[in-house]
């Protein structure tokens, strides 16, 4: 230190000491109290000033333990058939494309991509740094191998229909293209399918594909790789410990580990959460939402791309040929009661075939000439029964006092308002169907309820179209492709037009939507389609459910805003984080 400055400091301290020594005891106490306050205030000011320049940023670390109902069998994107399989596969594998939490399609393994002028050929260039968890490079051969396996009937892939007729062309080690028979705008959704490593699978015979050990110990190129699998004495998986993959193309995940534990049913899953064995869970019935500890956890409600409704089969039950019957039955349903009582409020009243997150849904309903009949959340008539009865009465229906059933006289005889409702043996479907049955009986309809197990319903009721009215749900993709559900060509199995709906104008719009790549134009056409379907009233749409996802409050990061399948909740998982660090804002550019 400079001698001059050193001497000055000594003289200054000496003068302070001399002054303090001259103070009385009271003055000294006051002086030291003021000095202490000054020091504390100075430290606090410096601390606050420093914090004003700091910002919290994600930091690698932490573990998320999630519980799932079920046990994995095929952690393989080609043959995954259950939510458990798809959940783990979505974390372990990655595709040419992926989705953002907003539902937009973005490159993943792909470095770049393009669409031909005729909108039939999709070309991709694979990133040079794309590698599998074992360090081997991801090439066009891996992509070609994966899609060919999906297309092979012997593989029995659930994704086969989406790739039927698609021609694959490998242009180089890193370039590949897909050519469609005709333009199909939603095709980009198919490109998020996880890519298999050909070097590990190429020698597995197709007949042994479903039995290979790689289905349980998968190797992919996704955000997480399998660190270990814990099994019980019978070899059944108890949990998967997944570690962040540092070479993931979209960036190494911040959360270091995700542990997936498996449970037999919803009750044991929620009990595991309450005991602290898991941090998060999803897909449970709304009744369990009340057991969530809101001090440590948050319930995320995500709109599902599903619409549940009553589909009228006019071919089997001629009573539905009368439009006033379809309108009255729709008007009689207290949909808000079903959303609140059956879904516990975790859902939305449906007024058309588009999911709740579709902007076109609201636009289509606004143009419906029957909008005073079709109810939306918050706008339901006070007396559903009176409105429905008025519609029937105006249509020539009268109540048979002796039988308590509405009937209508025609040139050929008397028609009774009698039919059955078929649905699946799931608690929510069954209870909602019971409420609907009660509502319809209250307006003089003779309604019986037929409950079927899932497989029986699909094989023996839906496929042969053997039902009067069917209470069922439709899964609508991100691009709102309603073609499988409403085009006249899809009326028979394996088509999904379960209302057996036919309308030439609707067919033309459905075909236009399939070939339209511009989202705004597609939504405009969708609104027109919804208006046409609403006018014909081939179904009574009831509700669109929310997906319930319980996560700890310590988990940050953008979550999915709309999902089609349960595994979509992991969209953007590599950006989730638990640990944080504070740095100066200037360094967070």
Q: Cα dist. 247→201, 243, 519 in Å? A: 22, 12, 33
Report the C-alpha gap between 200 and 309 in whole angstroms.
Answer: 45
Instruction: Identify the pLDDT of residue 34.
Output: 76
And the tokens for 313? 């089969």
Packing angle of the helix pair 519-536, 359-366 (nearest 10 deg): 40
Residues in the chain: 589
Instruction: Identify the pLDDT of residue 400.
Output: 93
Sort residue 276 into left (φ over 0), alpha (ψ -120 to 50) or beta. left
Instruction: Identify the pLDDT of residue 2.
Output: 60
Q: Give the residue among 569, 576, 582 at the shortest CA–CA distance from 83.
A: 569
Report the C-alpha gap between 94 and 100 in whole angstroms.
Answer: 13
Query: Is the bond preceding residue 23 a cis peptide, omega within 30 degrees?
Result: no
**Ordered mean pLDDT values, 10 residues apiece, the chain (589 residues):** 62 67 74 78 71 73 97 96 96 96 92 94 97 98 98 94 94 97 90 97 94 96 97 93 97 97 96 97 89 94 93 97 97 95 94 75 42 41 82 96 93 93 95 97 97 94 97 88 94 94 97 86 92 97 95 94 92 94 59
Does residue 135 contact residue 148 with C-beta atoms inside 8 Å?
Answer: no
SS (H, E, C) 145-208: HHHHHHHCHHHCCCCHHHHCCCEEEECCCCEEEEECCCCCHHHHHHHHCCCCCHHHHCCCCHHH
Does residue 85 contact residue 76 with C-beta atoms inside 8 Å?
Answer: yes
Does residue 574 contact residue 553 with C-beta atoms inside 8 Å?
Answer: no
Q: Which helix (H) or strand (E) holds 264?
A: none
Q: Cα dist. 193→85, 121, 187, 518 in Å? A: 13, 18, 12, 23
Q: Where are the alpha helices (DSSP H) in 248-346?
A: 266-274, 323-332, 335-341
Locus of tokens 């039939």:
120
And the tokens for 75? 């952690």
Q: Give the residue among 191, 165, 190 at the shortest CA–CA distance from 179.
A: 165
Q: Give the residue among 268, 206, 255, 262 at the shortest CA–CA distance from 238.
A: 262
Burial class (CB in 10 A: 0-12, 13-18, 19+), 34: exposed
What pTM does this model have? 0.83
Condensed to tens digits (0 to 9), the pLDDT of residues 399-422 reads: 999 999 999 998 888 999 999 999
Burial class (CB in 10 A: 0-12, 13-18, 19+), 411: exposed
Instruction: Identify the pLDDT of residue 364.
Output: 40
Instruction: Identify the pLDDT of residue 367.
Output: 36
Query: How many CB atoms within 10 Å of residue 386?
Result: 13
Instruction: Identify the pLDDT of residue 52.
Output: 64
Condensed to tens digits (0 to 9), the pLDDT of residues 76-117 reads: 999 998 999 999 999 999 999 999 998 889 999 999 999 999
Q: How far apart, in Å, do the first and last CA atoms of the chain sit?
A: 39
Q: Which helix (H) or strand (E) holds 580?
A: strand 579-584
Residue 429 phi, psi (nearest 5)? -65, -45
Q: Give the residue among 216, 225, 61 at the shortest CA–CA distance from 135.
A: 225
And the tokens for 307? 């619409």
Burial class (CB in 10 A: 0-12, 13-18, 19+), 42: exposed
And the tokens for 484? 């499988």
Q: Parallel, antiparallel, or unpaired: how do β-strands 418-424 and 446-452 relate?
A: parallel
Does residue 175 contact residue 124 with C-beta atoms inside 8 Å?
Answer: yes
The conformation of residue 457, written as its DSSP 8-state character, comes to: I
């Amino acid at each position: 230190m400079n001698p001059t400055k050193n001497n000055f400091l000594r003289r200054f301290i000496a003068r302070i000491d001399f002054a303090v020594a001259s103070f009385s005891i009271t003055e000294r106490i006051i002086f030291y109290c003021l000095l202490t306050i000054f020091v504390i205030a100075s430290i606090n000011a410096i601390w606050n000033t420093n914090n004003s320049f700091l910002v919290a940023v994600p930091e690698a670390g932490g573990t998320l333990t999630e519980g799932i109902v079920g046990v994995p069998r095929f952690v393989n994107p080609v043959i995954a058939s259950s939510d458990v399989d798809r959940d783990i596969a979505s974390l372990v594998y990655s595709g040419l494309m992926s989705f953002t939490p907003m539902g937009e399609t973005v490159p993943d393994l792909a470095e770049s991509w393009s669409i031909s002028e005729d909108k039939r050929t999709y070309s991709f260039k694979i990133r040079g740094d794309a590698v599998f968890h074992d360090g081997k490079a991801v090439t066009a051969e891996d992509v070609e191998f994966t899609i060919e396996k999906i297309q092979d009937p012997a593989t029995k892939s659930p994704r086969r229909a989406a790739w039927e007729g698609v021609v694959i062309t490998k242009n180089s080690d890193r370039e590949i293209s897909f050519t469609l028979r005709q333009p199909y705008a939603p095709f980009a959704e198919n490109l998020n399918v996880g890519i298999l490593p050909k070097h590990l699978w190429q020698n597995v015979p197709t007949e042994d594909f479903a039995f290979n050990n790689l289905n349980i110990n998968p190797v992919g190129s996704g955000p997480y790789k399998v660190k270990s699998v814990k099994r019980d004495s019978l070899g059944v998986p108890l949990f998967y410990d997944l570690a962040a993959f540092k070479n993931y193309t979209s960036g190494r995940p911040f959360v270091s580990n995700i542990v997936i534990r498996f449970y037999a049913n919803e009750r044991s899953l929620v009990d595991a959460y309450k005991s602290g064995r898991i941090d998060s869970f999803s897909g449970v019935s709304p009744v369990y939402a009340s057991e969530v500890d809101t001090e440590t956890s948050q319930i995320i409600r995500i709109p599902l791309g599903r619409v549940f409704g009553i589909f009228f089969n006019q071919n089997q039950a001629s009573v539905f040929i009368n439009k006033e019957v379809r309108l009255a039955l729709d008007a009689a349903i207290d949909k808000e009661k079903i959303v609140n009582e059956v879904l516990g409020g975790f859902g939305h009243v449906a007024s058309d075939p588009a999911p709740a997150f579709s902007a076109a849904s609201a636009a289509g309903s606004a143009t419906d000439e029957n909008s005073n009949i079709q109810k939306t959340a918050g706008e339901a008539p006070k007396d559903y029964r009176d409105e429905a009865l008025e519609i029937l009465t105006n249509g020539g229906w009268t109540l048979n006092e002796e039988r308590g059933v509405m009937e209508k006289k025609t040139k050929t005889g008397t028609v009774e308002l009698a039919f059955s409702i078929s649905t699946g043996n799931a608690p929510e479907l069954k209870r909602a169907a019971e409420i609907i049955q009660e509502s319809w009986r209250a307006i003089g309809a003779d309604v019986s309820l037929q409950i079927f197990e899932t497989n029986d319903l699909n094989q023996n009721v839906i496929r042969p179209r053997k039902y009067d009215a069917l209470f069922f749900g439709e899964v609508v993709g991100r691009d709102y492709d309603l073609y499988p559900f409403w085009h006249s060509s899809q009326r028979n199995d394996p088509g999904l037009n379960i209302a057996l709906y036919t309308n030439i104008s609707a067919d033309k719009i459905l075909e236009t939507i399939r070939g339209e790549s511009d989202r705004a134009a597609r939504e405009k056409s969708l609104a027109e389609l919804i208006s046409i379907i609403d006018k014909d009233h081939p179904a009574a749409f009831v509700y669109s459910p929310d997906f319930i996802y319980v996560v700890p409050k310590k988990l940050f990061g953008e979550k999915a805003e709309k999902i089609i399948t349960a595994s979509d909740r992991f969209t953007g998982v590599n950006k989730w984080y638990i640990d944080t660090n504070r740095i100066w804002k200037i360094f967070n550019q």
